Structure 1
Amino acid sequence: MIQQNEIIMFLLGMGCMVFILLNKREVKRIPVAKILIAGFYVLLAGYVFTILEGLFWKDFLNILEHICYTVSSIIMAVWCWKISIYKKDAK
């Protein structure tokens, strides 16, 4: 069963993706932007899996969803670490 909050999170994520694609030049100005964007795309994949698990392959897609959330968190943590090093090097 698909829940309303899952659809809302997916729609918000798609809105962010559209923003990123429309403002690609400005987004690339963020230090180490590729890592940040990669983390967002993995998070968005998790949102897709959470909706799909309500339709079929519940257990398998649930595992993929949580793997995506974990990997996304790790990627975002790496981005935070790299940006802190970037800030130190800029001084």
Structure 2
Amino acid sequence: MNKPLFMHIVDGLSNEVQFFRQKKDGLGRLGLSTLQKCTTAIRVLAYGIAADTVDEYLRLGETTTRSCLENFVEGIIYFSAMST
């Protein structure tokens, strides 16, 4: 995937889907970035890897990886429905 397309997807998801917005935790530390979440979902889809494999590369747990994937797919479906 080329970078402009990837960034277009990242920007769209961060603007429209609450899950992809970077949030602060109770101590004020920033959580996972939109780029981390989108990269996780795309890697799982592109390479067909298991959710726990991403943990070593992007420092996300298995449950978070599944959430990224589910929200990514739902976001893409939402954008597809909006464009038709």
| TM-score tier (shorter) | 0.3 to 0.5
Q: Which has the larger helix fraction?
A: 1
Structure with greater Cα Rg: 1
Give the structure-2-normalised TM-score: 0.41
Give the structure-1-normalised TM-score: 0.39
